[in-house]
Amino acid sequence: MLKTEGSLFEEFQCKGMWWLPQKPDERVPGTLFYKPGEAIRLELSGAFRDFGSPIISPLHRPGAILGVIEGGKDCTLYEPIQSGSRRSRAGVSSSSFISHQLYVGKHFQSKNDIRFTSMIVQMTYLDEWAGHEALKVDSLDEGVCKITVPYYSRSIFTVRVESRNASVSVRSNWGLSYSSVEAHCKHFVDIHIIPDDPQENEWFDIFQRDYSDLLTLFIGNAVYPCNITAFGGDVEIAPGRMTKETVNVYTSQLNPRRRERVSSHDMPVPLAAIKNDVGGFIEKWFANSEKLKPVYTLLTATYYNRQMYVESEFLTLMQAIETFHRRELGGKYLAESDYEEYYAEMVKALPSSTPSDLKERLKQYLRHGNELSLRKRIVQLTDGLSADTRKKIAENIDEFVEKLVATRNYLTHYEKQKGEVIKSIEEYFHMNAKLTAILSLLLLKRIGLREEEIAERIFRHAFYPHI
């Protein structure tokens, strides 16, 4: 059964009764399984009857499966996929479903019903990043000490995100349980997301991922949600007493990991370093997300998939560098109208005897001839960095860029090497760390952080991420 309500890092299984929204009277017993890093699984001791058929096909995808689990809690398994069905020799049926989203606390009949007024998300390392002092310990006489616990919710900062028509509050909270002989208290920091109007869960999911991407760069580790609580409309719990409808959201995550000890002193950008301007930085991050989302995704993917081959990580980071330049600086040698004249002349100059296939290939090559080369793009980006930062990258920037380009071309085409390429795994680690630092610095500069204040920490963390 459920252990810590809403925890995405705790495995559990629950027995219950399950049915399709359109057939509430046809209920089937089954067990729900949740395990971090895996799809949510439902094993039924029977099968739903759908459209007159006793067993639905293996490709059946109901919009939702509703249920009531132990403790009388309502559940909605969202957009499940049937993963198997069996019938024993005795004629007893069983079936199984997998899903990536589970709501505990309410039945949702359809996707359109899943709308929330706000959401509270706890994320890994958020407590350490905020650096918020949770306990106050005072030494008294004769070896006695007094521990003070501020048992109330307190806002650390609140940000208005105009680009999403929402507000975000980062808050300090306590969970406390006690008896006459013992007490257990836990401090945590959470994020309260409040849109101006109720939104579908998909909106909250996108908002949360964009926020996680920024926190990943600030913290220097992949950030995962560890508890998600959604709130609906007002409900009456007693005559004259109202409260917000509460739903715990469980989502499957790919290989979630949480390091035991992380210090804000080792993070590239702890909250203490930016607290006075954090609101502006967060708003700009969201404002830029439509334009730079591909770069966010490519860079943070290397944090979330640490099992990636070093060559694949290198190619991902190079794609992110090129995409950042395209999105931010464009990249043409000439204005398109001017290049069209050169293009027409070059096509006209092709010998009439050129084979048709080759001629088409050359025309396609010339069509993209106005695009800046990868070498030129990287040079322009590094030229925009300070001399001190460039020294952190390499003593000789030209040689550094040449090796990046030669290695990218070799890994893309696997043709004969042209120029010096990265050869060893150790060198790949080294170059990938530099690319990660460069991209992080470029993205954080883009939202207003000062290069001279963050470059040292970013490069130090890139090379020594586990200190």
The confidence band for 2, taking pLDDT boundaries of 50, 70 and 90, is: low
Lowest mean pLDDT among 161-175, 218-232, 355-369: 355-369
The model's pLDDT over 357-366, given as tens digits with 9 standing for 90+, comes to: 887 877 777 7
- Inform me whether the pLDDT recorded for 303 exceeds 50: yes
List the domain boundaries for the chain: 12-110, 114-284, 290-463
Lowest mean pLDDT among 112-121, 165-174, 259-268: 259-268
Predicted TM-score (pTM) of the model is 0.85
The model's pLDDT over 81-107, given as tens digits with 9 standing for 90+, comes to: 998 888 777 777 888 999 999 999 999
The model's pLDDT over 231-272, given as tens digits with 9 standing for 90+, comes to: 998 877 778 787 889 999 999 987 788 777 788 888 999 999
By the 10 Å C-beta count (0-12 exposed, 13-18 middle, 19+ buried), 122 is classed as buried
The model's pLDDT over 128-147, given as tens digits with 9 standing for 90+, comes to: 999 866 666 666 666 666 66
The model's pLDDT over 418-448, given as tens digits with 9 standing for 90+, comes to: 778 999 999 999 999 999 999 999 999 999 9
Give the per-residue pLDDT at 243: 82
The CATH number of the domain covering residues in 12-110: 2.40.10
Q: What are phi and psi of 271, to 5 degrees?
A: -60, -35
| H-assigned helices in 234-335 | 271-274, 278-304, 310-329
The model's pLDDT over 330-354, given as tens digits with 9 standing for 90+, comes to: 877 777 777 677 777 787 888 888 8
* CA–CA separation, 74 and 247 (whole Å): 10
Residue the block writes with tokens 């980006």: 381
Give the per-residue pLDDT at 239: 82
For residue 28, list its beta bridge partners: 18
